[in-house]
Structure 1
Amino acid sequence: MTRREVPGGVRFITFSCERRLPLLGSPDARDLFARSLREARDRLSFKLLAWVAMPEHTHLLLIPPDGSPLAPVLKSLKLSIQQRVLRFLRHSGDPLASEIVRADGATRFWQKGGGFDRNVREQTELNKAIRYTHHNPVARGLVAAPLDWRWSSARWWFARQRSHEQDPADVPCDWPPGDPRAWAMWEGYV
Structure 2
Amino acid sequence: MEYRRAKVQGGTYFFTLVTEKRQKILCLPNNVFLLRDAFRYVMQKHSFIIDAVVILPDHLHCIWTLPEKDQDFSTRWRLIKSYFSRRCETILPENISISKQKKQQRAVWQNRFWEHLIKDEIDFQNHIEYIHYNPVKHGLVKSPKDWEYSSFHRSVRQGIYDIMWGAGEEIIFDDHIGNE
Tell me by how many angstroms 1:155 deviates. Answer: 0.6
The two structures have a TM-score, normalised by structure 1, of: 0.72
1:179 is aligned to: none
The yes-or-no answer on 1:125 pairing with 2:123 is: yes
2:109 is aligned to: 110
Contact map agreement 2:16 2:115 (CA 8 A) in 1: yes
The yes-or-no answer on 1:33 pairing with 2:30 is: no
Amino acid at match of 1:160: Q
2:86 is aligned to: 83
| CA deviation map 1:110-169 (0-9, x unaligned) | 112x221110112111111001101111111212221221211111111012xxxxxxxx
Amino acid at match of 2:79: S
- 1:10-21 matches, cutoff 5 A: 10-21=12-23
Identical columns (%): 24
* Number of equivalenced pairs: 158
1:61 is aligned to: 63
CA change 1:109–1:148 in 2 (3 A) is same
Unaligned stretches of 5+ in structure 1? Answer: 162-183
1:154 is aligned to: 152
CA change 1:96–1:55 in 2 (3 A) is farther
**Aligned mates of 1:108, 1:15 — CA distance in 2:** 13
Amino acid at match of 1:82: S
SS class of match (1:3): coil
**Aligned mates of 1:41, 1:23 — CA distance in 2:** 23
CA RMSD in angstroms, aligned pairs only:
2.6
SS class of match (1:49): strand
CA change 1:115–1:80 in 2 (3 A) is same
CA change 1:6–1:132 in 2 (3 A) is same
Amino acid at match of 2:21: R
Contact map agreement 1:9 1:121 (CA 8 A) in 2: no
Tell me by how many angstroms 1:63 deviates. Answer: 1.5
**Aligned mates of 1:41, 1:96 — CA distance in 2:** 33
